[in-house]
Amino acid sequence: MNLKEAGIGEGISEVIVTTKSASGEPNAAPIGIIAVTNEDENENNYFVRLYKGSKTLSNARETNKLAANVTNDAVLFVKAAFEPLTETQFSLFNGFPVLKEANSWILFDCTFSEKTRETFVFRLTALAVKTNRKEVKAINRGRNAVIEAAILATRNAITEDERDRAEREKLMALYARIVEKCGGSREKEALKILQEKT
Ligand SMILES: Cc1cc2nc3c(=O)[nH]c(=O)nc-3n(C[C@H](O)[C@H](O)[C@H](O)COP(=O)(O)O)c2cc1C
């Protein structure tokens, strides 16, 4: 299966991971899909590192499945990080929730790989891939800044951040200035939601 075509390449790809609980309730959260290049076979192995306490982790442990939804929508990232998405934002593939708005999605089987004090790591094996549209987009610093700001805002809740409050506020102010200068309407809306949530 060609995951690069679906937008998941080398390094860490920030996506919205959808999962479902054993009772069938869907969930969505921004998560990084980690690609590790296999030197011999010249192809990638895929992993995910999930912090303890998240719904995504408990769902992945219950069902051994997750879907990586590729999107550039800053608002979707921020909403998925801070609030439950509505039922209507999901569609079902063989009963598994994926995002209607995703440019592409990959359904993965996830197998436990290792555990640390704060995280569980799973190895991912692609089961199905769907590309809804191929989006060609130039780098936008505003969109990138929203993602950095959202990571900063969620980091402190899930793990001890080595930065103090003053340093985090300074970084947030910098990201906000970049969004104001370089972002479009979706990035500005995402920043507003982020600021309300934090
Ligand atoms: C861009 C981005 C990437 C993130 N990557 C991860 C990740 O790789 N692993 C993780 O456990 N949390 C990650 N987070 C934090 C989770 O999205 C956040 O804790 C979320 O609230 C978990 O929601 P849930 O409880 O519905 O699963 C990331 C957040 C953002 C904004």
Say whether pLDDT at 160 is over 80. no
Q: Where are the beta strands (DSSP E) in 52-172?
A: 65-70, 90-93, 96-99, 104-115, 119-131
Q: Round to whole Å and give the CA distance between 111 and 108.
A: 10
The response to whether residue 14 sits with its C-beta less than 6 Å from ligand 1 reads: yes
The response to whether residue 191 sits with its C-beta less than 6 Å from ligand 1 reads: no
What are the structure tokens assigned to 125, written together?
């094996």
Residue 66 CA to ligand 1 center (angstroms) comes to 14
Q: Which of 18, 27, 56 to mutate to test the pocket of ligand 1 (most atoms within 8 A of CB)?
A: 56
Residue at a domain's end among 74, 100, 131 = 131
- The predicted model scores a pTM of 0.96
Query: What is the sign, positive or negative, of the torsion defined by CA atoms of 52, 53, 56, 59?
Result: positive
- What is the tens place of the pLDDT at every residue in 28-81? 999 999 999 877 777 789 999 999 999 999 999 999 999 999 999 999 999 999
Say whether pLDDT at 82 is over 80. yes
**Do 99 and 68 fall within a single domain?**
yes
Residue 95 lies in a domain: yes
The arithmetic mean of pLDDT across residues 129-135, rounded, is 94
Residue 2 lies in a domain: no
Residue at a domain's end among 84, 100, 131 = 131
